[in-house]
């Protein structure tokens, strides 16, 4: 397969990582920490769970146009186009990628590839073109270049990923494009990728565009799992400050922090990715693709159902991150309970003391899809009288779906 030399930019998943996580969310962290009153409110245990007066409630249903634009030497092309639809209340998100060669009607211009809309009229024209194509209004945009992504990954300290032996015989992944200064040389095996290596990992597509998309999805999930927690807050803020200065976006700062909190609450399995269906339509030696209208209509209906929570699958214990708090006053209770749950396959996001130690009964707060897992946790802890409370509004480290506050009914062994 021919390896395209046209685009130095990242595709859909990476744009979400850098734009939605790095830029939009921590804009407010910078502002809050620069204001003494706000800094006092978000310090300590509230750093990742700011009080309601700062957050102003959950972010509302939001669509963001994410753009990777090649602005070097006035090239003026949008090489990455994705619409991110975030539904905070149901903790779900959809990422719909649009191929840059898709043939569309560009308002005020000829029928052409959709990425030319950016060249003709910048972000406003591209946004209008995408809205007409999808029949949906898009509230905001965020424009990103790959240099910003590379620096942000370095600020985070890298991302650990398992590199597959794509080329076989231990060769891993290799590609050199001297004209574009792209050099990919990755050995197989789990490793921490720095910014330059991460770009290579998500841009490599000798095997296929579909497998590249899978790698981008893997990278996103790894980045979220490894860095969206209090332990990695310094690196996250550093990466965000850099991105804030370099990413072009119209997302208001107040909404930005709410979006970060919303994105943190979305487990990787509740982020659905899709490509708008197209069929090849070459013309006069130029490659175009055109919308497959029937398949596109079916896909959009499926994505709406997903966002509405229809057919929501329960979250099993092994996929549920849990925060364990010691509210009983017995030393070591949180660590003991965490070990017991981890032994059953649960992922422990944090284990520490609660704010107070006078809890008589264990309290298990869980997100709605984790009711079965909450019952299992109560059984594993030997707390049949525990209070189980459905709560879709809490935010916790590691995008946890359950917070267990141990009471005096819990007995370590």
Q: Give the separation between CA 209 and CA 392, rounded to whole angstroms.
A: 36
Model pLDDT for residues 298-334, shown as the tens digit of each residue: 999 989 888 887 656 678 898 888 999 999 989 999 9
**DSSP category for residue 312:** P
Higher pLDDT, 46 or 211: 211
Backbone angles phi, psi at 213, to 5 degrees: -60, -40
133 vs 55, residue with greater confidence: 133
Write out the CATH class of domain 12-307. Answer: alpha beta
pLDDT-based confidence at 117, cuts 50/70/90? very high
Residue 382 has pLDDT above 70, yes or no: yes
pLDDT of residue 114: 93
Determine the Cα angle at 172 with ends 170 and 176, to 5°.
130
Could you identify the residue written with the tokens 């994105």?
263
Distances (CA, A) of 350 to 75, 78, 231, 402: 47, 41, 10, 11
Nearest residue to 61 (alpha-carbon basis) of 308, 363, 243, 358: 308
pLDDT at residue 251 in the model: 82
Query: To 10 degrees, what angle do helices 371-381 and 333-343 make?
Result: 120
Q: Among 33-37, 310-314, 374-378, name the most confident range.
A: 374-378
As annotated, the residues of the chain forming the CATH 3.40.630.190 domain(s) are: 12-307
pLDDT 10s digits, 232-266: 666 666 666 666 667 788 888 677 667 766 776 77
CB contact at 8 A, 257 and 49: no
- Looking at the chain, the whole-number percentage of residues with pLDDT higher than 90 is 32
| Structural contact between residues 352 and 398, judged by C-beta atoms closer than 8 angstroms | no
pLDDT tens-digit series, residues 276-301: 888 888 888 888 889 999 999 999 99
Q: Give residue 353's pLDDT.
A: 94
> How many helical (H) and strand (E) elements, i.e. helices and strands, does the chain have?
13, 19
For domain 317-406, give the CATH number.
3.30.70.2390
Residue span(s) of the chain under CATH 3.30.70.2390 come to: 317-406
The alpha carbon dihedral of 212, 213, 216, 218 has a sign of: negative
pTM greater than the 0.95 cutoff: no
What distance in Å separates the CA atoms of residue 393 and residue 16, rounded to the nearest whole number?
23
Separation of alpha carbons 150 and 185, rounded Å: 16
**SS3 of residue 362 by DSSP:** coil
Give the pLDDT of residue 401. Answer: 83
Per the CB < 8 A criterion, the answer to whether 172 and 183 are in contact is no
How far is the C-alpha of 138 from the C-alpha of 217, rounded, in Å?
Answer: 23
Instruction: List the strands of the sheet with 77-87, edge to edge.
Output: 248-249, 140-144, 62-70, 77-87, 92-97, 271-275
Rounded mean pLDDT, 137-166: 84
Residue 409 has pLDDT above 50, yes or no: yes
> Dihedral through CA 257, CA 258, CA 262, CA 263, nearest 10?
-30
- Which pLDDT band, with edges at 50, 70 and 90, does 73 fall under? low
Residue position matching structure tokens 């409370």: 389
d(CA 325, CA 362): 10
Contacts for 192 with CB less than 8 Å, ≥ 6 apart = 157, 158, 159, 160
Pick the more confident residue, 312 or 37: 312
- With cut-offs at 50, 70 and 90, classify the pLDDT of residue 38: very low
Region 108-118 average pLDDT: 92
Contacts of residue 18, defined as CB under 8 A and 6 or more positions apart, other chains included, come to 10, 144, 148, 149, 152, 243, 247
For residue 15, what pLDDT is reported?
A: 36
Tell the residue number behind the tokens 């990728």, with chain if given: 193
Query: In this structure, how many other beta carbons lie within 10 angstroms of the beta carbon of residue 265?
Result: 22
Q: Cβ contacts of residue 259 below 8 Å, gap of 6+?
A: 20, 24, 25, 59, 62, 86, 251
Structure tokens belonging to residue 179: 């004209």
How many other CB atoms sit within 10 Å of the CB of residue 240?
27
């Amino acid at each position: 397969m021919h390896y395209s030399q046209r685009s130095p930019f990242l595709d859909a998943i990476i744009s979400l990582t850098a734009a939605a996580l790095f830029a939009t969310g921590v804009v407010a962290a910078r502002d809050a920490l620069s204001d003494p009153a706000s800094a006092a409110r978000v310090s300590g245990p509230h750093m990742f769970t700011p009080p309601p007066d700062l957050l102003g409630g959950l972010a509302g249903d939001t669509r963001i146009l994410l753009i990777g634009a090649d602005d070097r030497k006035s090239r003026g092309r949008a090489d990455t186009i994705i619409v991110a639809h975030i539904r905070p209340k149901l903790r779900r998100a959809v990422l719909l990628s649009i191929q840059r060669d898709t043939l569309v009607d560009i308002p005020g211009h000829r029928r052409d590839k959709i990425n030319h809309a950016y060249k003709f009229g910048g972000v406003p024209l591209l946004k209008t073109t995408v809205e007409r194509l999808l029949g949906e209004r898009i509230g905001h945009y965020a424009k990103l270049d790959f240099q910003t992504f590379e620096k942000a990954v370095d600020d985070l300290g890298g991302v650990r990923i398992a590199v597959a032996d794509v080329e076989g015989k231990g060769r891993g992944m290799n590609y050199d494009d001297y004209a574009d200064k792209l050099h990919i040389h990755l050995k197989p095996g789990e490793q921490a990728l720095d910014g330059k290596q991460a770009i290579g990992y998500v841009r490599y597509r000798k095997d296929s565009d579909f497998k590249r998309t899978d790698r981008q999805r893997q990278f996103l999930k790894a980045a979220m799992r490894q860095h969206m927690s209090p332990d990695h807050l310094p690196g996250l803020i550093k990466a965000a400050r850099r991105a804030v200065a370099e990413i072009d976006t119209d997302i208001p700062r107040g909404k930005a922090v709410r979006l970060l909190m919303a994105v943190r609450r979305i487990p990787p399995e509740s982020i659905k990715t899709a490509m708008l269906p197209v069929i090849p339509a070459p013309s006069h030696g130029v490659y175009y693709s055109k919308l497959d209208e029937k398949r596109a209509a079916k896909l959009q209906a499926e994505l709406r159902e997903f966002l509405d929570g229809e057919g929501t699958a329960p979250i099993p214990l092994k996929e549920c991150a849990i925060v364990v708090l010691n509210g009983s006053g017995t030393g070591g209770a949180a660590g003991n309970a965490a070990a017991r749950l981890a032994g059953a396959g649960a992922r422990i996001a944090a284990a520490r003391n609660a704010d107070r130690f006078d809890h008589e009964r264990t309290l298990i707060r869980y997100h709605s899809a984790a009711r079965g897992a909450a019952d299992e946790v109560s059984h594993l802890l030997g707390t049949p009288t525990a209070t189980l409370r459905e709560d879709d509004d809490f935010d916790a480290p590691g995008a946890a779906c359950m917070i267990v506050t141990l009471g005096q009914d819990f007995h370590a062994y």
